């Protein structure tokens, strides 16, 4: 980063063409919001085809009792209405499924039902699910060391890390993911990944994500604590591609979007090598994210077929060690864990979620038979900015759906 | 251009990411071929939605007598079979409609039915058709001067040009479109239009297509001779956007792709301002290009509705002055003219076509009730490389369909 001012750090994701140099207004919240519904307008992308089959049904049974539902935001005293929370946390669109039916839906601003929106780190949960499927099929051994699948990483931080440690982000990396730190390595990653369109990697940088991964080094002992670092997902994606012999976009297309009967093509932003960014570069339509969440809730079965192996979903639901997670210091997420690239609440409903910065979510509540897919464009990156007005709202809604059923 | 070697000139369209600097193989014909079926993988793009309606029918009535049909290539003595011509002119895909039915279809290499392929200057005919529709609706006066619609062009070459002169490319511009000349202004255009991904415009260049247009100057008197210059289409696109208040991608979406019942989303490569390139930046699926050709053949009526006003198609079919066209010296195209961004053969069948470099075509033969849509990746840009094995083949096929009916 060339600047340390807060807005440019928070809005770094959408810097680019038209860049600040030619458009001083490019970092406004309004422009960022438009950008999130059109990442391909500033970056090279690779398409994820929905397939030639029919769009799967998402029956509608809209309820009028959700807008007025209230919850108490984390750290607050005063209840907030659900409809008021949408503006408060910069929601671009939200779909709530109950028992597979759309009970609530809202689109706002530039987001339309047919427009893919950036998923940020929700991408990781797609990749983790596919990797879990390969694990239960026996094609990836979670206890194997990473170089078994990616020899190029032998001398890197991952040379002595297991796939399981990568999956659950318990590797010890010399790598800072704090967006508020302009010197954090995450900025170098985003630049080599070509995810900051106006800011190419400096001359002499590794070319592309995979070359960059090879330069990273360990800092400590793997497997002792959870530490959320996006580069782990890039390693996982590399493993997945090598094991299957397919690029990531084709895996998502053939194994998820086409069998799910997605309504719309999706896409990945690609790096200068044409590599899809596994850590956060996916854009999809909101209702398709809901379809994916519903697939998970139904233990892999959706659109009349078993899309994800049930054992892979069970391996997600199992969760990981909350003691590892606790060391990361997420005070808003007590007792949670991180498993197969999913965030596990370990609450009484067994809820878990996919989470992306600026407010992207898929929230699966098995007990309430509820799935929420949500896109947002909160001006600040960290999820801590949206958690207070989303997590308790999701849980209140889940409880309401249970009691109203 | 920084090099004068023939391959880089001929293959200039696909220079880019991964650029030559990191991938010496990026200019190989194989890679170019792949690139043409995935322009968005190296450039920012804006989507053209197909809409939420059903895909329109393209009934199939495949014939087995077309492969063996022969024709004599222009300038040759020996007949060639139609099937042999496909490889000879680097065809990626071809669809032939007769009376609205698919009588022949072939896909080869990376092109698939659902994959948009770059249309190059076939794009111009889409724009010209929409502009003709605005003319017959009375919203664009062909005799008005360009600055009536685009005041920013008052001091440019187009300050005293009429819209009709822009439509039919009879403006006199100080601007060379010869790809074989490394100093030609067309290379500056392609760079400011961000259509050479590895070669951004040099520092100090105008930013984006519209700024570049304002720098161009006249060279002679408008209206006296035909001279094919892509920048005219960019001016036409600008006029169209100002008159309708809509960006080009939305015009194509709402007025053509959605009512046509296209099977697949299409897209434009955009410049650093996010502006769709009207001169050659469109990519669409082959069968959708055939649908558009069929719409023209049926005088604007397709998919159960009048998509293009019949009077606009008639205004295309009217053609322009072959005497103007003759001065451009296209020895392979005797007696042709250029009208509303379409190439008019003035042959006995009243055939006309959309043409793009490297071999892109939509060929409409009203008398034979035939439409051909074709994508190719001939290693050399100029259409003179593909005309000898396409134009006589198309006409032979038309005659065959008439006599076999």
pLDDT digits (tens, 9 = 90+) for A30-81: 888 999 999 999 999 999 999 999 999 999 999 999 999 999 999 999 999 9
Is the CB of B40 less than 8 angstroms away from the CB of A47? yes
Phi, psi of B238 (to 5 degrees): -65, -45
Q: Which chain B residue is nearest to residue A49, measuring alpha carbons?
A: B114
Is the CB of A40 less than 8 angstroms away from the CB of B47? yes
Whose tokens are 């998402």? That residue is A58
For residues A75 and A145, what is the distance between their CA atoms, to the nearest angstrom? 42
Average the pLDDT over B319-345 and give the result: 97
- The DSSP symbol for A152 reads G
pLDDT digits (tens, 9 = 90+) for B237-284: 999 999 999 999 999 999 999 999 999 999 999 998 999 999 999 999
Residue B277 in contact with partner chain A when CB distance is under 8 A:
no
**Is the Cβ–Cβ distance between A37 and A92 less than 8 Å?**
yes
- The DSSP symbol for A73 reads -
- When mean pLDDT is compared across A5-14, A83-92, A106-115, B118-127, the lowest value belongs to A5-14
Residue A20: predicted pLDDT:
46
Average the pLDDT over B134-163 and give the result: 98
Residue B48 in contact with partner chain A when CB distance is under 8 A:
no
Average the pLDDT over B17-32 and give the result: 65
Q: Which of residues 62-81 of B touch A (CB under 8 A)?
A: none
Burial group, residue B59, by CB count within 10 angstroms (0-12, 13-18, 19+): exposed
Of B22, B267, B272, which has the smallest distance from its Cβ to A22's Cβ?
B272
pLDDT digits (tens, 9 = 90+) for B32-54: 899 999 999 999 999 999 999 99
* Active-site residue list of A: 121
Residue B22: predicted pLDDT:
55
Average the pLDDT over B124-133 and give the result: 98
Q: Which residues of A touch B45 (CB under 8 A)?
A: 40-41, 45
Percent of chain B's residues with pLDDT above 70: 94
Q: Which of residues 173-232 of B touch A (CB under 8 A)?
A: 197, 207
Q: Which chain A residue is nearest to residue B43, measuring alpha carbons?
A: A44
Per-residue pLDDT band at B179 (split at 50, 70, 90): confident
pLDDT digits (tens, 9 = 90+) for A86-122: 999 999 999 999 999 999 999 999 999 999 999 999 9
The helix/strand count (H/E) of chain B reads as: 14, 15
Average the pLDDT over B344-367 and give the result: 98
* Interface mutation target, options A15, A37, A39, A47, chain B, most CBs of B under 10 Å: A47
Average the pLDDT over B333-337 and give the result: 97
Burial group, residue B88, by CB count within 10 angstroms (0-12, 13-18, 19+): middle
Residue B15: predicted pLDDT:
42
Q: Is the pLDDT of residue B5 over 50?
A: no
Q: Supply the ipTM of this predicted assembly.
A: 0.92
Question: What is the CATH T-level fold of the domain B6-404, as seen in this structure?
Answer: Beta-lactamase (3.40.710)
- CA B327, B231, B385, B391: dihedral to nearest 10 degrees? -70
Hey, what are B369's tokens? Answer: 């009730």
* Active-site residue list of B: 121
If you compute the radius of gyration of chain B from its CA atoms, what whole number of angstroms results? 20
Residue A397: predicted pLDDT:
98
Per-residue pLDDT band at A395 (split at 50, 70, 90): very high
Cα–chain-centroid distance for residue B363? 11
Of B44, B52, B273, which has the smallest distance from its Cβ to A43's Cβ?
B44
Residue B24: predicted pLDDT:
64
Q: Report the gap between the CA of A270 and the closest CA in chain B (Å).
A: 7
Q: Which residue has the higher pLDDT, A384 or A25?
A: A384
Which among A264, A238, A233, A283 is positioned nearest to A125, based on CA atoms? A233
């Amino acid at each position: 980063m060339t600047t340390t001012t807060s807005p440019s750090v928070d809005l770094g994701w959408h810097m680019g063409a038209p860049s600040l140099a030619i458009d001083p207004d490019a970092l406004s919240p309004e422009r960022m919001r438009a950008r999130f519904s059109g990442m391909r307008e500033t970056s090279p992308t690779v398409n994820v085809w929905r397939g030639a089959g029919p769009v799967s049904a998402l029956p509608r049974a809209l309820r009028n009792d959700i807008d007025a539902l209230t919850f108490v935001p984390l750290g607050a005293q005063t209840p907030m209405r659900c409809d008021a929370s949408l503006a408060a946390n910069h929601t671009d669109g939200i779909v709530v499924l109950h028992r597979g039916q759309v009970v609530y839906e809202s689109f706002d601003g530039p987001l339309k039902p047919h427009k893919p929106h950036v998923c940020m780190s929700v991408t990781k949960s797609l990749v983790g699910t596919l990797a879990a499927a390969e694990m239960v099929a026996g094609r990836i051994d979670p206890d194997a060391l990473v170089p078994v699948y990616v020899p190029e990483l032998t001398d890197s931080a991952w040379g002595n890390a297991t796939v399981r440690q990568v999956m659950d982000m318990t590797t010890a990396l010399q790598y800072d993911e704090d967006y508020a730190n302009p010197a954090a390595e995450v900025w170098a990653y985003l630049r080599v990944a070509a995810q900051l369109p106006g800011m190419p990697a400096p001359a002499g940088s590794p070319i592309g994500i995979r070359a960059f991964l090879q330069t990273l080094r360990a800092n400590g002992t793997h497997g002792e604590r959870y530490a959320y670092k996006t580069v782990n997902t890039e390693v996982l994606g590399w493993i997945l591609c090598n094991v299957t012999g397919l690029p990531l976009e084709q895996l998502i297309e053939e194994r998820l979007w086409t069998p799910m009967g997605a309504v719309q093509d999706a896409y990945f932003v690609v790096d200068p090598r044409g590599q899809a960014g596994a850590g956060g570069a996916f854009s999809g339509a909101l209702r398709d994210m809901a379809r994916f969440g519903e697939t998970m809730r139904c233990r892999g079965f959706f659109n009349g077929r078993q899309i994800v192996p049930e054992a892979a979903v069970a391996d997600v639901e199992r969760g990981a060690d909350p003691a590892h997670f606790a060391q990361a210091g997420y005070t808003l997420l007590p007792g949670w864990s991180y498993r197969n690239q999913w965030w596990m609440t370990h609450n009484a409903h067994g809820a878990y979620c996919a989470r992306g910065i600026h407010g992207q979510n898929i929230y699966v509540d098995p007990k309430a038979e509820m799935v929420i897919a949500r896109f947002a464009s909160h001006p600040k990156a960290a999820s801590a900015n949206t958690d207070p007005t989303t997590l308790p709202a999701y849980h209140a809604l889940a409880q309401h759906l249970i009691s109203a059923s």
